[in-house]
Homo-oligomer: A and B are copies of this chain.
Amino acid sequence: MSVSASANLQLFLDRLAARSVLSEEEQQAILSLPTRAGQVEANHDFVRIGERVDHCCLIVDGMMGRFGQTFEGTRQITAIHVAGDVADLHSVVRPVGTSAIQALCTTTVLRISHDELRKVAARFPAVAEAFWRDCMVDAAVLSQWVVNVGRRDAKTRIAHLLCEMAVRTGDDRTPLLTYPFPVTQAHLADATGLTSVHVNRTLRTLREEGMAHVRARVVQILDWNRLAELGEFDADYLNADTSRDARRRLLN
């Protein structure tokens, strides 16, 4: 475990601490988890369906996607994970992959073993709860994706996705109006349940209407308000601030 590893674990802790209240001791326990650094090439499966894993993977830099597949081989991205996310924290309790995880671009990761995570969780109930809560935020995002893909038209879907990524990429719940999004239009299509051709056309109208400019793997949101309204985006579901609850509980 190198110095940079623990610096990177800070990413994980920050993420957890934004959603759960952890004591000094608990925080230290997270920061001293043993890790193993690694790198995943673009379009490389990190976890295959049915494969059993014994570690999780914190994204330090880059982006990963969770993929589902139909029998004919068309793909559907069910989640996009950015730096700071543990892409498969869920694997601690379900080690057999039920969907593939793939790097969307060259991605550096930090592996953390299930055993170690389980140990911390067993020792500190608040940490167990924090892990669980983190997974539930992912689930809330997933649930939004169902709505997005099931009930919104192309323009709305893409607008929603762009807004979501803007908020998730920024680190303080403020949307980052210009952010790197190193995915192809085909990836966007797989994420929104559309065709890459149609994504391309829709992106063009978004650009022509002065809402967002997506090019060269960078998203530039030109008019946040209009884009968020078009995309029916309300960031509430991304939040899980429970500090008030935690404090109230301490008083009882």
Chain B nearest Cβ from A134, distance in angstroms: 9
Q: Are A145 and B147 in contact, CB atoms less than 8 angstroms apart?
A: no
Give the A interface residue count (CB, 8 A): 52
Neighbouring B residues of A99 by C-beta, 8 Å: 140, 143
Q: Using known A-B contacts A90-B136, A125-B121, A139-B135, determine if residue A147 contacts B98 with beta carbons closer than 8 Å.
A: no
A137 at the interface (CB under 8 A from B): yes
Among residues of B, the one whose C-beta sits closest to the C-beta of A245 is: B95
Chain B nearest Cβ from A89, distance in angstroms: 9
Please measure, in the bound complex, the distance between the C-alpha atom of A70 and the C-alpha atom of B121, giving whole angstroms: 37
Which A134-170 residues sit within 8 Å CB-CB of chain B? 135-140, 142-147, 149-152, 156
Q: Which of B131, B152, B232, B245 contacts A132 (CB 8 A)?
A: B131
Q: Are A232 and B71 in contact, CB atoms less than 8 angstroms apart?
A: yes
A121-B125, A139-B139 given; name 11 further pairs at CB < 8 Å. A68-B151, A69-B147, A70-B147, A75-B151, A78-B147, A92-B132, A99-B143, A125-B128, A128-B128, A131-B132, A149-B150
A107 at the interface (CB under 8 A from B): no
Please measure, in the bound complex, the distance between the C-alpha atom of A129 and the C-alpha atom of B216, giving whole angstroms: 43
Q: Which of B74, B133, B151, B232 contacts A93 (CB 8 A)?
A: B133
Neighbouring B residues of A71 by C-beta, 8 Å: 232
Q: Are A147 and B94 in contact, CB atoms less than 8 angstroms apart?
A: no
Task: Please report whether the interface of chain A is mostly helix, strand, loop or mixed according to DSSP.
Answer: helix
Please measure, in the bound complex, the distance between the C-alpha atom of A146 and the C-alpha atom of B190, giving whole angstroms: 11
Chain B nearest Cβ from A158, distance in angstroms: 13
Chain B nearest Cβ from A51, distance in angstroms: 12
A38 at the interface (CB under 8 A from B): no
Q: Using known A-B contacts A98-B237, A125-B122, A232-B70, determine if residue A146 contacts B90 with beta carbons closer than 8 Å.
A: no
A220 at the interface (CB under 8 A from B): no
Please measure, in the bound complex, the distance between the C-alpha atom of A151 and the C-alpha atom of B126, giving whole angstroms: 39
A197 at the interface (CB under 8 A from B): no
Please measure, in the bound complex, the distance between the C-alpha atom of A142 and the C-alpha atom of B98, giving whole angstroms: 12
Neighbouring B residues of A135 by C-beta, 8 Å: 132, 135-136, 139
Chain B nearest Cβ from A175, distance in angstroms: 19
Chain B nearest Cβ from A144, distance in angstroms: 7
A193 at the interface (CB under 8 A from B): yes
Neighbouring B residues of A237 by C-beta, 8 Å: 98
